[in-house]
Structure 1
Amino acid sequence: MSKQLDSTRLQHMLEAAERISRRMAGLSLTDFLADEDAHDVAMRRFMVIGEAANHISNATKQLFPQIDWLGARSLRNFVAHEYFRVELADIWDSVINDVPPLLLELPGVISQVQASEQAQRAGSV
C-alpha cells in the first residue's frame, strides 16, 4: 500500500471538520447532548481528524505550528480508547473551539502543501 501524501491527509482532516460543522450547525449544547446521532458524527469525525494528523510528516507539522497536531491526535486516541470516559460536553467544546480554526487554516495549508508536493514531483522527473 502506498503512503498517502500529506495533502491527501490534510484534505481528509478538512472534510471531517466540514462534516462536523455542517452537522452541528444550529445546535446548542443542550441540543447536542440530546442528539445521539450528533455525538456519533462528532466523535467519528474527530477520530478521522486525529488519525490523519498522526500521519502528517514532521516536516509539514513544523511548517504549520498553528494546527494543533498533538491535540487532534490526543482527542482521537481518547475517543477511540477511552470512549467510556468521554464527556459529551468536552466533545462539544472541541466542536466549538477546535473546528473553526481548522476550517480557517486547513485550506491554505493544503494549497501550500500541494504546491510543495508538485514542485518535488517536478524536480524528481
Structure 2
Amino acid sequence: MRTTEERLRDMRDAIDAAFRHLPSGRSDFEADEVVRFFLLKQVEIIGEAAFKISKDFKTAHSEIPWRKIEGTRHILVHDYFDVNWDTLWDIVTLHLEPLRKQVDDLLERLGAG
C-alpha cells in the first residue's frame, strides 16, 4: 500500500508530466489527439492518487479541493465517452499550477519534499 507521501508525489509527478507536454496554445491542444489523451491520463492519475489518500489527512488539509479532484477523475474514467475538452484544457492551464504548489507545501510539511 502506498503512503500518503507517495500518493502526493504521484500527484506532483503527474502534474510535472502534464507541464512537460502542455501544448503552447489551445489550437495545438485541439489538433493533437495524443497530447489530449496524455493530459487526460495525467489528470486521472492525480484524481486516483487523491482518492487513495486517507479521509483524515484530507480533512486536516482542506485547502486542497480533494472532492473536485476526485470528482473530475470519476467523470473522466466513467464518462470517458463524453469528455469535455474545454474543461480539461482549463484544468491543465489554470488549476494544475496552484495544485502543484499546494502539493509541494504538503510534502514539505511532511518532511518529504
Q: Same fold (TM over 0.5)?
A: yes
Matches within 5 A, 1:1-125: 3-24=1-22, 27-114=24-111
- Shift in Å at residue 108 of structure 1? 1.5
Deviation for aligned residue 1:27 = 1.7
Count residues with an aligned counterpart.
112
CA shift, 1:97, in A, is 1.8
Deviation at 1:76, TM superposition (A): 0.8
Superposed displacement of residue 114, structure 1 = 4.2
Q: TM-score, structure 2 length as denominator?
A: 0.91
Once residues 5 and 114 of structure 1 are traced to their aligned partners in structure 2, the CA distance between those partners, rounded to angstroms, is: 13
Secondary structure of the corresponding residue to residue 37 of structure 1? helix
Which portions of structure 1, spanning 4 or more consecutive aligned residues, are displaced by more than 2 angstroms?
A: none
RMSD: 1.4
Q: Please list every run of 5 or more consecutive structure 1 residues that lacks an aligned counterpart in the other structure.
A: 116-125
Percent identical residues: 28
Q: Normalising by structure 1, what TM-score? A: 0.83
Q: Is the 8 A contact 1:61 1:69 kept in 2?
A: yes
Q: Is the 8 A contact 1:33 1:89 kept in 2?
A: no
Amino acid at match of 2:35: A
Gaps of 5+ in 2: none
SS of the residue aligned with 1:4?
coil
Look up the equivalent residue of 2:92 and give its one-letter code.
Answer: V
C-alpha displacement of 1:113? 2.7
- Point out the structure with max Rg over C-alpha: 1
Instruction: State the alpha-carbon separation in 1 of the partners of residues 109 and 57 from structure 2.
Output: 10
Secondary structure in 1 matching 2:21: helix
